[in-house]
Amino acid sequence: MDVVHGRRRGVTERAGLKADCANCLGLCCVALPFAESADFAFDKGAGEPCRNLLADFRCGIHADLRRRGFAGCTVFDCFGAGQKVSRETFAGRDWRADPGLARRMSEVFPVMRGLHELLWYLDEAVAMPAAAPVRDELRRAFDEVDRLTLGGPEEVAAVDVAAVRDRVNALLLRASELARAAVPGRRRNRRGADLIGARLKGADLRGACLRGAYLIAADLRGADLRSADLIGADLRDADLRGADLTGCLFLTQAQLNSARGDAATRLPAALERPAHW
């Protein structure tokens, strides 16, 4: 376990980068737009409250989202940006009492989410034993991104997340390379590969680079994904039943939520087994 800024960093220290809906003003149900599709039952514009949002900012159909046509909601993860924007950036102000506030929050929330996602990855990279050669740089990058999240609404909204991501990604890639170098044998490089529907049942993917790979509906039953880099991989409807994901790199809850798995799927300690599995 590494120590960062005087705190023990690890799974328990990532709570601030996980959604806390009880301390959020329902921002994902207000700020984000969605179009009627297989994932959403109706259209909704940015800044427009979802008709399923209750007075206490909870979802009125949360326990039944998939059956009611809102599978897209079940795979979304704000990485803790919701409570940050609600309680810190806007100091708990209720957007319902100010017609212009929902619009401003809608501008800030996606930016904050992007920054919090980068913090999630950096937090994980800092804790990697193999990343020791770049740990100081990772810490500085974490602090830099963290400072960007602490500005006022106008400051946060003005952040160029794409530029920040480009800078951070070079470090994350280096940390990934160091971690995967310890895996014996041939390590596959399938970065950005089109693996839609691929038959990878039982495949040995230890240490593979699957960054940005399209694994939509891929058959990964029983596959060994330990130490595989999954940052940005599209796992929608991927079959992860019985797969081993322990120790894989940069996997997020949203990716897991979009896939299919079962009780035999082995997960990283920081993530939870999706309720629909």
Tell me the CA distances in angstroms from 79 to 15, 17, 33, 212, 237, one per residue in order. 9, 5, 18, 19, 21
pLDDT digits (tens, 9 = 90+) for 55-73: 999 999 988 998 899 988 9
As a whole-number percent, the residues of the chain with pLDDT over 90 amount to 79
236 and 217 Cβ atoms separated by less than 8 Å: yes
How many Å apart are CA 265 and CA 29, to the nearest integer?
30
State residue 188's pLDDT score. Answer: 86
Domains of the chain: 9-179 (no CATH), 186-268 (2.160.20.80)
Report H helices in the chain: 71-74, 81-84, 101-126, 135-148, 153-157, 161-180, 253-258
pLDDT digits (tens, 9 = 90+) for 172-222: 999 999 999 989 887 889 999 999 999 999 999 999 999 999 999 999 999
Average pLDDT over residues 139-154: 96
How many Å apart are CA 276 and CA 274, to the nearest integer?
6
Q: How many helices (H) and strands (E) does the chain have?
A: 7, 2
Q: How many whole angstroms from its chain centre is CA 229?
A: 14
Is the pLDDT confidence value at 2 over 80?
no
Report H helices in 149-245: 153-157, 161-180
